[in-house]
Amino acid sequence: MIRSYLKIALRNIRLYKTYSSINIIGLTVGLATFFIMLLYVLYQISFDKYNKKIDDIYLLTSEIKIFNNSTAFCPLTLAAKLKEKYPEIENFARYSNEKTVIKYQDRVFEEKRCAFTDPGIFDILTLPAKLGKYPTAPDGDKWIVITESMAEKYFGSVEPCGKVLNLKCGKNEYDLTIIAVLKDIPETSTFSADFIVPITINPDFNAFLSPRMYPRFLTYVLLSHSADINGLNQKLGGFSDYSLIALDLKFHLFPVKDIYFHQGTMVDNIHFRHGNLSNVYIYSIAAILIFAISLITFLMLNIGRTSLRIKEIGIRKIIGALKRDLFYQIMIESLLITFMALLPAVILVQILLPQFTQLIGIKIYSEYFHSWMFVLLFVFVAVIVGTISGLYVWAYIFKLHPADILRRRNSSGSNKIYFRRILIAVPIIIFSGLIFSSITIFKQLLYFHDKDFGFNKEQLVFFTPDYERFNNDYYAFKNLLKSNPNIINISAGAILPGENSYSMIVDSAPGTASQVVSEILLADEDFIETLQIKMLSGQTFREFGVSDSSKVCIINESALKAMNLKSPLGQELYGYRIIGVTKDFIVHSLHTVVKPAIIRYNAKSISNIVIRIQPDNIINTIKYISENSKQYNNGKPMSFSFLDDRLDAMYCQETRFAEVFGIFTGLAISVACLGIFGMSLFLIQNRVKEIGIRKVLGASVKSLIALTLKDLLLTSVISTIITFPVAYYLINKWLQNFAYRISFDVWIFLLTTLFVMVIVIMTIGIQATRAALMNPVKSIRYE
Partner 1 sequence: MIKLNNISKYYENKFIKTFVLRNINLEINEGEFISVMGPSGAGKSTLLYIIGMLDTASEGEYYFYDEPVHKMKEKKLTELHKSHIGFVFQQYHLIDELTVLENLETPLLYQKIKTSERKGMVADLLDRFNMVAKKDLFPNQLSGGQQQLVAIARAIITKPKLILADEPTGNLHSGQGKEIMELLKKLNDEGTTIIQVTHSEENAKYGNKIIKLNDGWIEK
- Residues lying near partner 1 in the complex (CB under 8 A) are found at 1, 4, 7-8, 11-12, 15, 311-312, 314-323, 325, 401-403, 406-407
In angstroms, rounded to a whole number, what is the distance separating the alpha carbons of residues 770 and 344?
32
Closest approach of partner 1 to the CB of residue 322, in Å: 6
Nearer to partner 1, 395 or 403 (CB): 403
Nearer to partner 1, 188 or 329 (CB): 329
Nearer to partner 1, 322 or 375 (CB): 322
Do residues 581 and 535 lie in contact, with contact meaning Cβ atoms separated by under 8 Å? yes
Nearer to partner 1, 306 or 708 (CB): 306
H helices of 361-489, where?
366-370, 372-397, 402-406, 414-450, 470-482
Residue 644 Cα distances to 449, 450, 650, 766, angstroms: 9, 11, 10, 47
Closest approach of partner 1 to the CB of residue 305, in Å: 12
Closest approach of partner 1 to the CB of residue 395, in Å: 17
Nearer to partner 1, 317 or 612 (CB): 317
Q: State the DSSP string of 413-437.
A: -HHHHHHHHHHHHHHHHHHHHHHHH
**H helix and E strand count, the chain:** 23, 22
Nearer to partner 1, 319 or 746 (CB): 319
In angstroms, rounded to a whole number, what is the distance separating the alpha carbons of residues 368 and 46?
12
Nearer to partner 1, 308 or 713 (CB): 308
Closest approach of partner 1 to the CB of residue 382, in Å: 25
In angstroms, rounded to a whole number, what is the distance separating the alpha carbons of residues 103 and 110?
9
Nearer to partner 1, 285 or 318 (CB): 318
DSSP H/E element including 267: none
Nearer to partner 1, 224 or 412 (CB): 412
In angstroms, rounded to a whole number, what is the distance separating the alpha carbons of residues 232 and 252?
9
Q: 450-454: which pairs have CB atoms within 8 A and are 24 or more residues apart?
A: 451/586, 451/590, 451/740, 453/497, 453/585, 453/586, 453/647, 454/533, 454/534, 454/582, 454/583, 454/584, 454/585, 454/586, 454/594
Coil/strand/helix, residue 448? helix
Q: State in Å, rounded, how far the first CA of the chain is from the last one.
A: 32
Closest approach of partner 1 to the CB of residue 334, in Å: 16
Nearer to partner 1, 5 or 134 (CB): 5
Closest approach of partner 1 to the CB of residue 302, in Å: 16
Closest approach of partner 1 to the CB of residue 317, in Å: 8
Q: Which amino acid belongs to residue 125?
A: L
In angstroms, rounded to a whole number, what is the distance separating the alpha carbons of residues 170 and 204?
10
Closest approach of partner 1 to the CB of residue 771, in Å: 23
Closest approach of partner 1 to the CB of residue 41, in Å: 42
Closest approach of partner 1 to the CB of residue 670, in Å: 31
DSSP code of 780?
H
Closest approach of partner 1 to the CB of residue 313, in Å: 10
Q: Exposure pattern of 492-531 as b/e (b: 16+ CB <10 Å)?
A: bbbbbbbbeeeeeeeeebeeeeeebebbbbbbbbbbbbbb
Q: Can you give the three-state secondary structure of 282-307, one letter per residue?
A: HHHHHHHHHHHHHHHHHHHHHHHHHH
Closest approach of partner 1 to the CB of residue 412, in Å: 16
Nearer to partner 1, 148 or 312 (CB): 312
Coil/strand/helix, residue 738? coil
* Helix, strand, coil share of the chain (percent; to 5): 50, 20, 30
Closest approach of partner 1 to the CB of residue 770, in Å: 24
Nearer to partner 1, 12 or 71 (CB): 12
Closest approach of partner 1 to the CB of residue 316, in Å: 7
In angstroms, rounded to a whole number, what is the distance separating the alpha carbons of residues 246 and 627?
48
The neighbouring-strand residues paired with 108 are 103
Q: How far from the centroid of its chain's Cα atoms is residue 174's Cα?
A: 39
Q: Exposed, middle or buried, 707 (CB in 10 Å: 0-12/13-18/19+)?
A: middle
Residue 700 Cα distances to 81, 321, 604, 683, 696, angstroms: 91, 46, 84, 20, 10
Closest approach of partner 1 to the CB of residue 342, in Å: 24
Nearer to partner 1, 322 or 750 (CB): 322
In 3D, which of 306, 304, 329, 303 has the Cα closest to residue 316? 329
Do residues 19 and 681 lie in contact, with contact meaning Cβ atoms separated by under 8 Å? yes
Nearer to partner 1, 321 or 618 (CB): 321
Do residues 6 and 332 lie in contact, with contact meaning Cβ atoms separated by under 8 Å? yes
Nearer to partner 1, 21 or 172 (CB): 21
Closest approach of partner 1 to the CB of residue 324, in Å: 9
Nearer to partner 1, 30 or 314 (CB): 314
Q: Which amino acid belongs to residue 476?
A: A
Beta strand ranges found along 509-628 (DSSP E) = 515-523, 535-538, 552-556, 572-573, 576-582, 597-601, 608-613
Closest approach of partner 1 to the CB of residue 333, in Å: 11
Nearer to partner 1, 337 or 674 (CB): 337
In 3D, which of 32, 660, 667, 8 has the Cα closest to residue 361? 660
